[in-house]
Amino acid sequence: MANEAYISKGTSLLFNGEGGAAVAFSVEGIANNSGWVSAQRDLGAAPRPGLYDWSCEVQFQATPTQGAGLELYAAFAPDGDSTQIDGDIGASDAALGDVDMRRNLTFIGFVTSENAAASEKCVASGQFECFKRYISIVAYNASGAAVNATDTNFRFDLAPAFWQGQ
């Protein structure tokens, strides 16, 4: 039918520690009550999508606290200055220097440990708006256990979603 709007999905970006990842994000092995910052990603010059779908999968090294998990945040920087980053967290794949700085970031979701088993893969997804050009993803481990140290046991996928008129 004419004049309808549909959601169109862009190419998904993998954030993790694997060699083929689009963005370096070495969350694997981080201890409880610690955070990690991904490398900064340039989402491109405007016009660009303003809505993003995310999906995160994490496995913990030991038995996490049931109902606890991994907090996820986005840190943005404006089109004109990639160094003016929310929380002043830096732009490289590195430990979050001050975990309290996450209060200056945009909370995007939480991956909860449902069954409290070390072998369990915990998965969650969501959506958030982003009107800035540069983005870093931040993970804060509040699970009560370390994240599994294997690269493939943590992944964060980010895909643009936008309205398309037809």
Q: What is the CATH number of the domain that holds 64?
A: 2.60.120
| Total of domains in the chain | 1
**The pair of three-digit structure tokens given for residue 35, joined into one six-digit string:** 């955070």
Q: Tell me if the bond preceding 64 is cis, omega within 30° of 0.
A: no
Query: In this structure, is residue 6 part of a structural domain?
Result: no
Query: In this structure, is residue 128 part of a structural domain?
Result: yes
Report residues of the chain scoring pLDDT below 50: none
What is the rounded CA–CA span in Å between residue 1 and residue 13?
A: 32
The answer to whether the CB of 157 falls within 8 A of the CB of 15 is yes
Query: In this structure, is residue 92 part of a structural domain?
Result: yes
- Burial (CB count <10 Å: 0-12, 13-18, 19+), residue 71: buried
Query: In this structure, is residue 90 part of a structural domain?
Result: yes
Provide the 10 A C-beta neighbour count for residue 140: 22
Query: In this structure, is residue 87 part of a structural domain?
Result: yes
What is the rounded CA–CA span in Å between residue 14 and residue 23?
A: 6
Residue numbers of the domain that contains 86: 11-165
Tell me what pLDDT residue 73 has.
Answer: 98
Tell me what pLDDT residue 91 has.
Answer: 94
Query: In this structure, is residue 4 part of a structural domain?
Result: no
Tell me what pLDDT residue 83 has.
Answer: 93
